[in-house]
Amino acid sequence: MEQTTQVKLLKVAMITGISLILLGHVVLVVTFGNDDIDFRGYILGAAMNAIGIILSLPTKIYLTLVLMEKEERDNKNTHWSDR
């Protein structure tokens, strides 16, 4: 898999994860305010938050790739074997 494809997948996972976290919080707020939803709202909100957190984990990997690429561009004359 090429690096550009990996970066695109990481971006999609990050955006999906953050969206699920936000949606999970909205579901929990609505559940707290509405007694008709019952315990299913808590379960649904917690599940959305959990899946969102799992999907947003690639943010660290993506940021590491971006920073490594930036450092490589800035230090063109520096090689790992020189250190």
Model confidence over 9-43: pLDDT tens digits?
888 888 999 999 999 999 988 888 887 777 888 89
- Three-state DSSP class for 76? coil
What does the pLDDT read at residue 74?
82
- Helical H runs in 1-83? 3-33, 39-55, 58-74
Closest alpha carbon to 13 in 67, 68, 52: 52
Tens of pLDDT, residue by residue over 51-82, are: 999 988 877 777 787 788 888 888 876 665 55
- What does the alpha-carbon distance between residue 78 and residue 26 come to, in Å, rounded to a whole number? 49
What does the pLDDT read at residue 20?
94
Q: What is the pTM of this model?
A: 0.69
